[in-house]
């Protein structure tokens, strides 16, 4: 049992540290970088870059990139929002879901055709986002007005 004690303590500390690192927060959107990234100033005057979870918007120089950024700005620029933070990405951005008056902004971006459901190695984990994307595509909303829109992951791959 004495040998297991340090291991047990390490496991407990690991789980505690993971729950303490990510926290939901309120703040004001001070900059819309692109269709899936914003800067938010918290109540404590901390600027946090947030990448919208489960969506992938067109790149800035890509077709619909500017339209995507403008649409996101029309929804939340200079507004107070709530962020449900999930984790950090490799660039140390917060990955989270943004809410404005209980409206899920991440879903709005996909629902209105300004972003795709995020896919990792070709697989989307958020089934609701996939459904919203499919409906937006059927209704030719936003980027789906284009007959052959290029997914951002393909655009990034082709730019390498």
List, for residues 59-103, the tens digit of each pLDDT value: 999 999 999 999 999 999 999 999 999 999 999 999 999 999 999
Distance CA 9, CA 156 (A): 43
pLDDT one digit per residue (tens) for the chain, 160 residues: 566 666 656 565 555 544 445 789 999 999 999 999 999 999 999 999 999 999 999 999 999 999 999 999 999 999 999 999 999 999 999 999 999 999 999 999 999 999 999 999 999 999 999 999 999 999 999 999 999 999 999 999 888 7
Nearest-5° Cα angle at 35, 91 to 71: 160
Which positions are annotated as active-site residues?
A: 51, 59, 93
* Burial (0-12, 13-18, 19+ Cβ within 10 Å), 115: buried
- Architecture of the domain spanning 22-159: Beta Barrel (2.40)
- Report pLDDT for 7: 60
* Contact present, 124 and 160 (Cβ < 8 Å): no
- Report pLDDT for 20: 47
Distance CA 137, CA 72 (A): 18
Tell me which DSSP letter residue 151 carries: P
The structure's pTM equals 0.85
- Helix, strand, or coil (residue 115): coil
């Amino acid at each position: 049992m004495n040998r297991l004690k340090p291991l047990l303590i390490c496991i407990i500390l690991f789980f505690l540290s993971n729950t303490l690192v990510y926290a939901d927060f309120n703040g004001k959107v001070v900059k819309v970088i692109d269709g899936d990234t914003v800067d938010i100033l918290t109540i404590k005057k901390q600027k946090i870059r947030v990448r919208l979870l489960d969506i992938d918007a067109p790149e800035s120089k890509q077709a619909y990139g500017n339209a995507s950024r403008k649409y996101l700005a029309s929804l939340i620029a200079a507004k107070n929002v709530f962020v449900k933070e999930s984790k950090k990405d490799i660039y140390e951005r917060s990955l989270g879901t943004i809410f404005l008056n209980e409206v899920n902004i991440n879903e709005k971006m996909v629902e209105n055709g300004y972003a795709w459901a995020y896919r990792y190695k070709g697989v989307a984990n958020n089934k609701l986002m996939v459904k919203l994307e499919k409906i937006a595509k059927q209704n030719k909303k936003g980027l789906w007005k284009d007959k052959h829109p290029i997914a951002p992951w393909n655009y990034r791959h082709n730019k390498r």
